[in-house]
Amino acid sequence: MKLQNYTLRYLAITLLLVIPIWAGIFYVLILDEVYDNIDDDLKNSKIIIIRHAFADKKLLNSPEFGINKFTIKPLPKGHYPTKDTFFSTKEFMEYDNDDEPIRILKSFFKDEEGNQYELIIKASIVEEDELLQDLFLALIGLYVMLVISILVVNHLLLKKIWKAFYVVLNNLKEIKLGTGSRLKTINSPIDEFNTLAKEVEKMLDRNESIYSSQKQFIENASHELQTPLAISINKLELFAENSTLPDEQMMEIGKITDTLNRLTRLNKSLLMLSKIENQQFSEEENINFNELISIITEDYSDLADFKKVKITVTENDSLHFKMNKGLAIALISNLLKNALIHNYPEGFVKFIINKNEIIITNSGNNAPLNSAVIFNRFYRHTTTNESTGLGLSIVKSIINNYSIVIEYSFTGDHQFKINFPKK
């Protein structure tokens, strides 16, 4: 969920809770104030009526409301409460053709002769249900307007404010270590974002330098190892040639030489990897993969015959792709080598060339490989001493250099599918 919508969601939920609570309190307060006002008005009317009644004795006997808003009834002598009582009730109103709420003031007073009277004054009051309804509608209106205005503010203002943030985010997304990619600069009025951008840039520079020095280290180390390896291998070769040692000792020398040869291969593969990652294979040409695959499978046909593995190539379409030739060869031959190694006698390797993909299927071990780790460096499915465990990581790093995708799947046979970007 986007940052803007996220805040909006919480605001909307909070408002949904806060507004009714506020509305309830508001309603009670307003109603209280209205009643208070009416009661005051009734008290005022009472004083005026009593004053008039003293002046005009006729008023003392007006038991019906009639056009007046009050009644005065004489009462038998006795003790009556001196306090006024207020209450609300309902009365039929012709205008509305309905019962409407009214407020009643009931009071007792004595005239000069000490006769007891009862005074009732009524006043029409607010219709609570209608007030509630109006209030409810007004509140919905208020809520919608609030949410809309927050949305608008979010979209206009926040978008503007967070723009810098999204630039930083995009920068981070596009960073590819080792490619020397630069960050887009931001110019935000907000200090935090400027700091963020600055820190990201610093971090990138730091990582970039660590990365390149590490890459450089691997490359240099591999280079520096070549000469000592050459000396050791050559000295052993010469020694074996010149010596008249017993078979067992020659055997040991042979083993040492084999180990050194293995080290050489490992070293060469590492160099190859770091060169691919350093993009030192920049020369590109249009590669005809149909042709390339037929040449490579021909190269490997002796080995395949020896291993009794049948290689077939099905060309459904012709596939051209612009890339470095050496890398294209390394890509196909590493996959073919892999398919041949992890195979069994009377097994098969099938190449299928489609418009934008190459599918390599081979028979082999009857269990799927863990596709999460097979492309990792030094991952080995079996513990063959002679395998460097770098073949598929070379494949992976070649693929990373171009926008090619490789997928591994297992359907009884092992399958690698190389998807080339559509033209």
Partner 1 sequence: MFPETWFYFELVFLNLSYRKQAIMKVLIIEDEAGLREVVQQSLEKEKYIVETAHDYISGFEKLGSYDYDCILIDIMLPNGSGLDLLKEVKKQKKQSAVIIISAKDAVDDKVKGLDLGADDYLSKPFHLSELHARIKSAMRRNNHNGDNLIVWKNVTLSPEQRTVSIDNNPLVLNRKEFDLLYYFIINQNRLINKTAIAEYVWGDHTDQADNLDFVYSQIKNLRKKLKDSNAEIDIQAVYGIGYKMT
Residues that bind partner 1 (CB under 8 A): 223-224, 226-231, 233-235, 237-238, 240-241, 247, 250-255, 257-258, 261, 264-265, 268, 271, 275, 280-281, 299-300, 302-303, 306-307, 326, 333, 337, 341, 384-388
What string of DSSP letters covers 292-307? Answer: HHHHHHHHTHHHHHHT
CB-nearer residue toward partner 1: 196 or 253: 253
Minimum gap (Å) between residue 332 Cβ and partner 1 = 11
In the complex with partner 1, the residue whose CB is nearer, 226 or 318, is 226
Q: Is 287 exposed, middle or buried (0-12, 13-18, 19+ CB in 10 A)?
A: buried
Helices 325-341 + 391-401 axis angle, to 10: 150
The single residue listed with the structure tokens 């509630």 is 132
| Backbone phi and psi for residue 323, each to the nearest 5 degrees, phi listed first | -160, 180
Nearer to partner 1, 154 or 388 (CB): 388
Minimum CB separation of residue 295 from partner 1 in Å reads: 12
Q: How far is the CB of 310 from partner 1 (least distance, A)?
A: 16
Q: Give CA–CA dist 397/390, Å, rounded.
A: 10
Rounded to a whole number of angstroms, the minimum distance from the CB of residue 306 to partner 1 is 5
Q: Which amino acid is at 206?
A: R
Could you give the dihedral angle defined by the CA atoms of residues 327, 329, 332 and 333, in that order, rounded to the nearest 10 degrees? -120
Q: Tell me whether residue 82 or residue 382 sits nearer to partner 1 (CB atom).
A: 382
For residue 362, which of 324, 419, 394, 410 has the smallest C-alpha distance?
410
Cβ-based nearer residue to partner 1, 243 or 316? 243
In the complex, the smallest distance separating the C-beta of residue 265 from partner 1, rounded to whole angstroms, is 5
- Smaller CB distance to partner 1: residue 227 or 403? 227
Residue 361 · residue 350 · CB < 8 Å: yes
Residue number, 261 or 314, with CB nearest to partner 1: 261
Q: How far is the CB of 414 from partner 1 (least distance, A)?
A: 17
**Nearest Cα residue to 86 out of 32, 25, 29, 28:** 32
Yes or no: say if 125 and 101 are a contact pair by the CB < 8 Å rule: yes
* Residue 85 backbone dihedrals phi, psi, to 5 degrees: -115, 140
**Type of residue at 358:** I
- Dihedral sign for Cα atoms in the order 208, 214, 218, 221: positive
389 φψ region: left (φ > 0), alpha (ψ -120 to 50), beta (else): left
Closer of 175 and 303 to partner 1 (Cβ): 303
* Residue with Cβ nearer partner 1 (163 or 325): 325
Question: 187-222: b or e for each residue (b if 16 or more CB lie within 10 Å)?
Answer: ebeeeebbebbeebeeebeeebeeeeeebeebbeeb
CA separation for the pair 69, 66 (Å, rounded): 8
Closest approach of partner 1 to the CB of residue 324, in Å: 9
Nearer Cβ to partner 1, position 184 or 235? 235
Q: Provide the minimum distance between the beta carbon of 254 and partner 1 in the complex, in angstroms, as a whole number.
A: 3
Reduced DSSP (H G I as helix, E B as strand, rest coil) percent helix, strand, coil of the chain, to 5: 55, 20, 25
Nearest to partner 1 of 188, 274 (CB atom): 274
Widest CA span in the chain: 156
Query: What is the nearest approach in angstroms of partner 1 to the Cβ of residue 245?
Result: 10
Sign of CA pseudo-dihedral 325, 329, 335, 338: negative
